[in-house]
């Protein structure tokens, strides 16, 4: 009976043809390593955020007088199992970003941004950027002390433009800051618009971008950890069942770790300070942004000049965007590029150090260290053209194509 | 003939499309502009003559509480502050505005014209953790790390205009 229903649908929707073409006849390199699973994990994390988010909107009230209570009383105490949904959403945001960072670093390591995958990288960068904004807007909604003051600080960042030499007098920064908040203070208007952006606009944009990203991955083919394009007929393995099962297993492992945190280790994702309602007249002693922004924050505050700090942290984002054009070496994958590998290590150490420094108080020593690791981060990006030129030399010496 | 007419049609339709898209985007983006209520608070005029000498009035500017201090004629202050940044900035003014947010943890200090505790001269006292400020907002004692912020302000006859550069140009 079931089989007949299946056949009936298949004759009309041609699903098995689709499956055959997209999953079985789709050949991928057989030497894909574990880090290639971060992409699918990110998709799972995204799905978790959407599902848990939909349920949260049913009980959350985007109003400055009721937001805190709806999040911490209605959701956490009154409605059955909503505490679980909120835990999933709060921890999920952190896991999502963590996976995205791993995914980005994997892409850098294997040079997955090189021809013909530049566009995949650029769309990925936009996803990352929109994701940061999504996380930022969502963080304001519980209307706790950290939510509020974190946003006060974030909305002040654009005003650094106003301390620039010439353009400073135009007050562009203050204008941006006011447009972010919808007025001079963070209040009902800010909360309302952040709610709208967070639950509708930004997720829809993300959905669209992720689809484009996936399409582009398929269009260019999956990169190879060895750094060469495969002859799909001879060297590829069918996506199903080889990759589906392998990645399925990894995803199960990921979910196990995720739910361990959700049930037993939530205090970092719902910090105690945020269980105090927002008070515009009481700044908490320590306000630092969420961990996924700490590296930028350290760059920003280590540089003694406010405007230069602002430039430096935006430059980091720009470097990331134009990475495919900074690195024009004919070689792919850090496995074949010893010089690149060394600089990649510098990048990893610098970004981790910057993140850790962001949690520490801004003493002069920490500012010094911040500068050192900012230099390390920039050194990675700026060394790429040099390494590329050297590698072109090697490549030609070994009889590679003429440039 | 045939093609050029079609080209013209194409151009006209494309042009109309662009105008339409702009017409839709403009109001949508504009909804994010600051609200009228908020902008109305960007400038605050206070009639200084109506404040009794030696008294403080609390007004609101850009959503923050602001003290407007009116000093008596020939005001002498016998106390000593940790810094004199604000005093230098505001010297010679008989009325001026200070942001009424304690630089420690953000409470609103109280004006004590008769003094408070061991300070027997006019001070601002922050009740939350015992911060003390001079009448110019320089921190005297307690946990506040720096003087009260001073908003941009100018004097216009008997009016003090908060939010426009004058004898104080920028928020300090
Ligand atoms: S808030 Fe004023 S002294 Fe602590």
How far, in Å, is the centroid of ligand 1 from the Cα of A280?
Answer: 14
Residue of the CA atom closest to atom 4 of ligand 1: B129
Residues of chain B contacting A194 with CB distance shorter than 8 Å: none
Largest separation between any pair of C-alpha atoms in chain B: 97
User: CA of A371: how far to CAs of A281, A302, A303, A342, A375, in Å?
Assistant: 33, 6, 7, 20, 6
Structure tokens, A340: 């690149």
Strand partners, A244: none
Whether residue A233 contacts residue A27, with contact meaning beta carbons closer than 8 Å, is answered with yes
* Residues of B within an 8 Å Cβ radius of A: 32-35, 37-39, 41-42, 62-64, 101, 105-108
Ranges in chain B, pLDDT < 50: none
* pTM, 2 dp: 0.90
Task: Please indicate if any CB of chain B lies within 8 Å of the CB of A181.
Answer: yes
| Cβ–ligand 1 contact at B107 (below 6 Å) | yes
How far, in Å, is the centroid of ligand 1 from the Cα of A82?
Answer: 37
Three-class secondary structure of residue A47 per DSSP: helix
Task: Give the DSSP letter string of A334-399.
Answer: GGG-HHHHHHHHHHHHHHHHHHHHHTS---HHHHHHHHHHHHHHHHHHHHHHHHHHHHHHHHHHTT
- Length of chain A as a residue count: 403
Residue with tokens 């900035």: B89
Residue of the CA atom closest to atom 1 of ligand 1: B105
User: What ipTM was assigned to the predicted interfaces of this complex?
Assistant: 0.78
The shortest CB-CB distance from A179 to any of B34, B42, B105 is to: B34
What is d(CA B12, CA A19) in angstroms, rounded to the nearest whole number? 45
Which residues does A129 contact at the CB level (< 8 Å), separation at least 6?
A317
Task: Please indicate if any CB of chain B lies within 8 Å of the CB of A197.
Answer: no
Residue A155 CB neighbours (<10 A)? 18
What is d(CA A184, CA A197) in angstroms, rounded to the nearest whole number? 19
Whether the CA torsion A339, A344, A347, A350 is positive or negative: it is negative
What is d(CA A121, CA A104) in angstroms, rounded to the nearest whole number? 9
What is d(CA B83, CA B102) in angstroms, rounded to the nearest whole number? 15
Q: Between A and B, how many CB-CB pairs are < 8 A?
A: 45
| Cβ–ligand 1 contact at B102 (below 6 Å) | yes
User: CA of A71: how far to CAs of A78, A142, B125, B154, in Å?
Assistant: 10, 6, 36, 44
Ranges in chain A, pLDDT < 70: 401-403
By C-alpha distance, which of A293, A303, A297, A289 is closest to A375?
A303
Whether residue A278 contacts residue A145, with contact meaning beta carbons closer than 8 Å, is answered with yes
The shortest CB-CB distance from A187 to any of B39, B63, B101 is to: B63
Q: What number does the ligand 1 atom closest to the CA of B126 have?
A: 2
Confidence (pLDDT) at A403: 40
Task: Please indicate if any CB of chain B lies within 8 Å of the CB of A280.
Answer: yes
List of E strands, A117-205: none
Which residues does B127 contact at the CB level (< 8 Å), separation at least 6?
B107, B109, B110
| Cβ–ligand 1 contact at B129 (below 6 Å) | yes
What is d(CA B113, CA A399) in angstroms, rounded to the nearest whole number? 88
How far, in Å, is the centroid of ligand 1 from the Cα of B9?
Answer: 70
Q: H or E element: which one contains B36?
A: helix B36-40
Whether residue A301 contacts residue A362, with contact meaning beta carbons closer than 8 Å, is answered with yes
Query: What backbone torsions phi and psi does residue B91 show, to the nearest 5 degrees?
Result: -60, 145
Residues of chain A contacting B38 with CB distance shorter than 8 Å: 178, 182-185, 189
Confidence (pLDDT) at B1: 56
Q: Mutate which of A148, A183, A194, A285 to disrupt the B interface (most B C-beta within 10 Å)?
A: A183
Structure tokens, B70: 């009116």
How far, in Å, is the centroid of ligand 1 from the Cα of A288?
Answer: 20
Q: Judging by beta carbons within 10 Å of its beta carbon (0-12, 13-18, 19+), is residue B7 exposed, middle or buried?
A: exposed
């Amino acid at each position: 009976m079931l089989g007949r229903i299946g056949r009936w649908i298949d004759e009309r929707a041609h699903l098995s043809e689709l499956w055959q073409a997209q999953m079985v006849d789709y050949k991928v390199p057989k030497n894909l390593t574990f880090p290639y699973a971060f992409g699918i994990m990110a998709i799972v994390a995204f799905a978790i955020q959407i599902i848990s988010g939909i349920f949260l909107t049913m009980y959350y009230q985007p109003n400055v007088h009721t937001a805190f209570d709806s999040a911490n009383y209605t959701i956490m105490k009154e409605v059955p199992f909503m505490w679980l949904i909120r835990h999933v959403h709060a921890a999920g945001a952190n896991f999502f970003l963590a996976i995205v960072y791993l995914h980005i670093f994997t892409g850098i390591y294997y040079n997955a941004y090189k021809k013909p995958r530049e566009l995949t990288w650029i769309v990925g960068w936009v996803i990352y950027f929109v994701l940061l904004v999504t996380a930022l807007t969502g963080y304001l909604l519980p209307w706790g002390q950290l939510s509020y003051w974190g946003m006060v600080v974030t909305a002040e960042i654009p005003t650094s433009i106003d301390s620039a030499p010439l353009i400073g007098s135009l007050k562009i920064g203050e204008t941006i800051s006011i447009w972010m908040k919808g007025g001079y203070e963070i209040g009902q208007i800010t909360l309302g618009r952040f709610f709208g952006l967070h639950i509708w606009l930004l997720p829809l944009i993300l959905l669209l971008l992720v689809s484009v990203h996936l399409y582009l991955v398929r269009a260019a083919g999956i990169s190879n950890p060895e750094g060469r394009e495969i002859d799909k007929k001879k060297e590829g393995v069918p996506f199903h069942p080889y990759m589906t099962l392998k990645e399925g297993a990894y995803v199960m492992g990921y979910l196990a770790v995720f739910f361990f945190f959700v049930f037993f280790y939530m205090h970092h994702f719902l910090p105690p300070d945020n269980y105090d309602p927002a008070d515009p007249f009481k700044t908490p002693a320590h306000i630092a942004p969420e961990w996924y922004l700490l590296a930028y924050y350290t760059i920003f505050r280590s540089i003694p000049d406010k405007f230069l700090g602002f430039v430096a942290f935006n430059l980091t984002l720009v470097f990331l965007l134009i990475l495919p054009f900074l690195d024009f070496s004919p070689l792919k994958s850090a496995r074949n590029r010893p010089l690149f590998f060394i600089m990649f290590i510098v990048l990893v150490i610098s970004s981790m150090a910057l993140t850790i420094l962001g949690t520490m108080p801004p003493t002069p020593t920490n500012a010094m260290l911040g500068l050192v690791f900012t230099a390390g981060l920039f050194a990675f990006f700026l060394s790429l053209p040099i390494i590329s030129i050297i590698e072109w030399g090697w490549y030609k010496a070994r009889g590679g194509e003429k440039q | 003939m045939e093609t050029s007419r079609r080209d013209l049609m194409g151009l006209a339709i494309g042009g109309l499309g662009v105008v339409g898209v702009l017409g839709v985007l403009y109001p949508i983006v504009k909804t994010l502009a600051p609200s009228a209520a908020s902008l109305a608070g960007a400038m605050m005029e206070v009639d200084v003559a109506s404040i009794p000498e030696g008294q403080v009035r609390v007004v609101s500017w850009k959503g923050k509480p602001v003290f407007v201090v009116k000093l008596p004629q020939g005001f002498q202050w016998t106390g000593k502050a940790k810094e004199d940044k604000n005093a230098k900035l505001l010297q010679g003014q008989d009325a001026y505005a200070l942001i009424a947010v304690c630089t420690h943890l953000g409470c609103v200090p109280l004006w004590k014209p008769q003094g408070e505790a061991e300070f027997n001269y006019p001070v601002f006292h922050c009740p939350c953790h015992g911060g003390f400020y001079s009448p110019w907002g320089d921190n005297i004692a307690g946990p506040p790390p720096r003087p009260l912020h001073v908003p941009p302000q100018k004097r216009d006859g008997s009016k003090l205009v908060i939010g426009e550069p004058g004898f104080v140009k920028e928020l300090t």
